[in-house]
Amino acid sequence: MHRHSSLYLIAIALVSAMLTLPCLAQQLPVGPLIELSRPNAVGNCNDGFNLFGTWPTDDTEEPFVVVNPVHPNNIVAAWIQGPFQDIIAAVSFDGGHNWRRVPIPLTVCSGGSYLGAGDPWLSFGPNGDLYAIAIAGNTSNEIFVTKSSDGGLHWSAATLVSGNVDLPPEHPSITADPTDARLVYAIWDGTSSGKRGPAAFARTTDGGLTWEAPRTIVQTDTQSFIQFSQILVLPNGTLVDIFEFSEQQPNKPVTFANLQVLRSLDHGQTWSAPINAVTMTPLSRPNGDTLVVDPETGQFVLDPTNPSFAVDGRNGNLYAVWEDGGFSNFQYNDVAFSMSADGGLTWSEPIHVNQTPLNIQPANRQSFFPSIAVAADGTIGVSYYDFRFNNPNPGLRTDRWLVQCHSTSTSAATDPACWRNEVRLTDSSFNMEAVPIASGDFFFGDYFGLATAGDDFVATFAQPDNQNVTSIFVRRVGSAY
């Protein structure tokens, strides 16, 4: 064989080998890090509501983000402004380059009737209508929904969907049905006989003009509770409610936790019995919160073990991530991942997907607050915080990251080798010790946003800015930059 022919065959073999290697996608471009929440959209207005004592009204927490399926350049984020006082949205119509801050009319400083608000969640319908759900109230909290028909610039008056309850409801989420613009589903942690536990569900069948009375779709006993319910819609219209189920004796640590699933084949009119999905083994505090702790001071980060869920709109694959100590023999929490390819009936064995280095001190390997989303091409993204750059100097160096997996026939999402192409979302490490204190712990939210615009990821998260004000930031990762 001629030398040139040999070199040609070798080159072909190398190219073929490269094409079959798992998940070696080109590193995606990273856009600028943009601070969304300053200046304060309600200015100096302060209604006096302060859940945690002295707390600057410029500090923010708990961002969420969504992308308009009709106009993908329309991106909307929402967060809590101040000490649970206001819900603010930021709206972009150019793919995230420029943003406009818009108060959502729930509280007195933003055109509503209430003193406090929290737990915002957003969902776009298939016709571009945008729904926001949140807690609001004065002495007791209720669940409200408001709607925008112009991409987030203007919002309707708030509609009560929860009714009066004997204990405050928590952690609402809202899902506009992508198969029918008339259908929108709301779900939250409810109460029963004065005790937290069940899941309460409400829906609209007329695009938010009216809402059906809320009802319990998961009932718990006195030693168990559920939280963090989210409804996902499969391509065939089946609803899947995924939630965390926990067992806990009174005033004792949580003894068991898993993810469970309900399914509805009739748009939420009836629901299946709970299906056990996957067991969770987070390294937890005695009060049931996930254990995230400052390695130097022992100060806790307030973290209620909030899992995150997503659905692939092409094939109906369901994905879940949460914090789990089982991969490190319970030295620290990693980010666990599991998936279902049959509509939530069965789930894969959990793997850990965070790329936090193992050649650092165990206390600096803690990974927490994961969020998950699926791009149009099926690429899965998971964002999370960790302490990998922490050092003995004063302060707790913290960063947010995005890791990706593009599943192929040779490397499924259940294969740890697929999880590569990690991107640093923070420009530089921030000091966790500069965030506000709530109930004695560092607090900047229970969840953080991750969405997709085409094949790009759009991440929102909280960190102190250069003036040590805890702010909401956004960064787009992908071909738009």
Q: In which band, very low, low, confident or very high, does the pLDDT at 56 lie, cut at 50, 70 and 90?
A: confident
Looking at the DSSP bridge assignments, the partners of residue 260 are 243, 276
CB atoms within 10 A of CB 237: 15
Tokens of 436: 């506000």
What is the reported pLDDT for 26? 52
**pLDDT, tens digit, 9 for 90 and up, residues 287-324:** 778 899 999 999 999 988 789 999 999 999 999 999 99
Read off the tokens for 266. Answer: 């009739």
- Indicate the average pLDDT of the chain: 89
Gap between the Cα atoms of 467 and 471, Å rounded: 10
**How close are the terminal C-alpha atoms of the chain, in Å?**
47
**pLDDT tens track for 8-54:** 443 434 334 333 334 444 567 899 999 999 999 999 998 888 776 66
Give the pair of three-digit tokens for residue 104: 């959502």
The domains of the chain, with CATH numbers, are: 27-41+55-477 (2.120.10.10)
Q: What tens digit of pLDDT does each residue of 230-262 get?
A: 999 999 999 999 999 888 766 666 778 899 999
**Residue 375: pLDDT band with limits 50, 70, 90:** very high
* Pairing relationship of beta strands 224-233 and 239-248 according to DSSP bridges: antiparallel
Using DSSP, state whether 382 is helix, strand or coil.
strand
Confidence of residue 161 (pLDDT cuts 50, 70, 90): very high
pLDDT (mean) for 322-339: 97
pLDDT, residue 141, reads 85
Task: Tell me which amino acid residue 146 is.
Answer: T
**Pairing state between β 308-311 and 275-280:** unpaired
pLDDT of 268: 97
Are residues 405 and 419 in contact, defined by beta-carbon separation less than 8 angstroms?
A: yes
Inter-residue contact 28 to 406 (CB < 8 Å): no
pLDDT at 174: 98
Phi-psi region of 207 (alpha: psi -120 to 50; beta: other; left: phi over 0): left
27: DSSP letter: P
Residue 196: pLDDT band (50, 70, 90) is low
DSSP secondary structure string for all residues of 34-91: EE-S-S-TTTT------TTSS--TT-EEEEEEEE-SSSTT-EEEEEEETTTTEEEEEE
